[in-house]
Amino acid sequence: MRIMRMLVLFDLPTGNKTERRSYAQFRKFLVEDGYHMEQFSVYSRITLSRESIETHLVRLRAHLPPAGAVTVITLTEKQYESRRVLIDTRPIGGPSDPGAQMTLVI
């Protein structure tokens, strides 16, 4: 068993009520399907194998909004843990919990 991580990055239109509803439904799907918000429009999920990634890709495709861009990146857990997160100390209203990753304050 090899623990993997899926990153889902998306840029969805929100110019009208229908687009905002699609955005909200997609985000709600991600949260209910076990994804964790890393940043606005960047979510991650742990999977237990490469095979389970395929299962989750099928689920993602079934919930894609009609417009916009959704990108999926798969990483081993070791690759994910080696990332660097740079956080600006000025209050800008971003996510407040960077999690257990390495944090560099500038």
- Rounded to two decimals, what is the model's pTM? 0.77
Signed CA dihedral, 33, 37, 43, 44: sign only: negative
What is the pLDDT, as a whole number, of residue 84? 86
CATH of 4-105, one of 2.60.40.3880, 3.40.120.10, 3.90.870.10, 3.30.70.240: 3.30.70.240
Q: Give the start-to-end residue ranges of the domains of the chain.
A: 4-105
User: 48: exposed, middle or buried (C-beta count within 10 Å: 0-12, 13-18, 19+)?
Assistant: exposed
pLDDT digits (tens, 9 = 90+) for 1-54: 788 999 999 999 999 999 999 999 999 999 999 999 998 999 999 999 888 999
